[in-house]
Amino acid sequence: MRAPGNNNPNNTNTALRTGSNAIPVATKDKATITCYECGVVGHYSNECPKRLAKLAEHRCTCSAQRRISTGKKFAPNNPNNRNGRLFHMNTEEAQEAPDVVLDVLRKAEEKVHKIREYLKTAQSRQKSYADKRRREMTFEIGDFVYLKVSPLKGMQRFQLKGKLAPRYVGPFKVLSRRGEVSYQLELPEEMSAVHDMFHISLLRKCLEVPEKTEVFKNINHRSVDINQDLTYREVPIRILEEAYRTTRTRSIKFLKIQCSNHTEDEATWEREEDMKKEYPDLFST
């Protein structure tokens, strides 16, 4: 019978105490003790080599998993260098760890190296796909470029007609180059609120010098009110036509709307109810 309060079934050197009297428990001989872990006679379960090996393997495996999950700084992949290994133990841990633990760590390290190689391959493949769409583009001082702008569309359905919106304004002259991808442009006074430094992705090269062509004389970038974030707002200015679209249950009225910064040929058809809701001033006149 186990003594009350004694949680170790193999520890027989404790005494049963009642009050101030102590009743010693009979001590068993190790030669007659059977280990609960491995079933071998001659040692307790807390001294079982099999149990100690499992505990050491569990501690080393948890340490390896914790290193991977926490993303600690790993040294370069050099298996011949101790500092280049992902999982290394001190001398005492290496002496206590069984061969199965070292084998687990070795396999885990090999898997990590393979994962890194697969990631590099995937990144290189993805980069090759992206590089197909890229092109080398540089500008010299004195070149003329167009500046990319984005419209702030107010109409709900006008987003479907985004291809009709002006994408670039200009051309503007390149004054200087800052770094590899930034350029300073000569902007007019009407765009004084806009910073004159732009990334190369916002620029497109002008193939013809404005002073040598007649086409650029009619270009008026002042007609586009550009905000500080290179956006402008498009608003309807005139109703050109009216039409009805009849379905099985009702008839819907559409209006042909001309927006600012667009010609009559670029007008789009919009629902009358949507236009009255968003732009009531358009119908007041």
Q: Give domain limits for the chain.
A: 140-232, 235-285
pLDDT at 108: 82
Q: Predicted confidence band at 269 (pLDDT cuts at 50, 70, 90)?
A: confident
Give the residue with greater pLDDT, 247 vs 227: 247
Give the residue with greater pLDDT, 18 vs 244: 244
Neighbouring residues of 258: CB distance < 8 A, sequence distance ≥ 6 = 236, 237, 238, 239, 240, 264, 266, 267
pLDDT at 85: 47
The mean pLDDT of 180-195, rounded to a whole number, is: 80
The mean pLDDT of 147-167, rounded to a whole number, is: 51
pLDDT at 210: 64
Structure tokens at 30: 């190790």
Res 153 pLDDT > 50: no
Beta bridge partners of 2: none
What is the pLDDT of the chain when averaged over all its residues? 68
What's the CATH number for 140-232?
2.30.30
pLDDT at 71: 56
d(CA 82, CA 159): 60
Give the residue with greater pLDDT, 97 vs 41: 41
d(CA 256, CA 185): 38
Q: Predicted confidence band at 236 (pLDDT cuts at 50, 70, 90)?
A: confident
The mean pLDDT of 194-221, rounded to a whole number, is: 67
Res 187 pLDDT > 60: yes
pLDDT at 150: 63
Q: Predicted confidence band at 227 (pLDDT cuts at 50, 70, 90)?
A: low
pLDDT at 21: 52
CATH architecture of the domain 235-285 equals Beta Barrel (2.40)
Q: Give the DSSP H or E segment for 99.
A: helix 99-131
Q: Predicted confidence band at 158 (pLDDT cuts at 50, 70, 90)?
A: very low
pLDDT at 226: 55
d(CA 148, CA 203): 6
- Of 260, 75, 77, 231, give the one whose Cα is nearest residue 155: 260
Res 231 pLDDT > 50: yes
* pLDDT over 90 percentage in the chain: 2
Q: Which of 96-110, 213-227, 254-268 has the highest mean pLDDT?
A: 254-268
Query: What's the angle, vertex CA 210, arms to CA 206 and CA 212, rounded to 5?
Result: 120
pLDDT at 166: 60
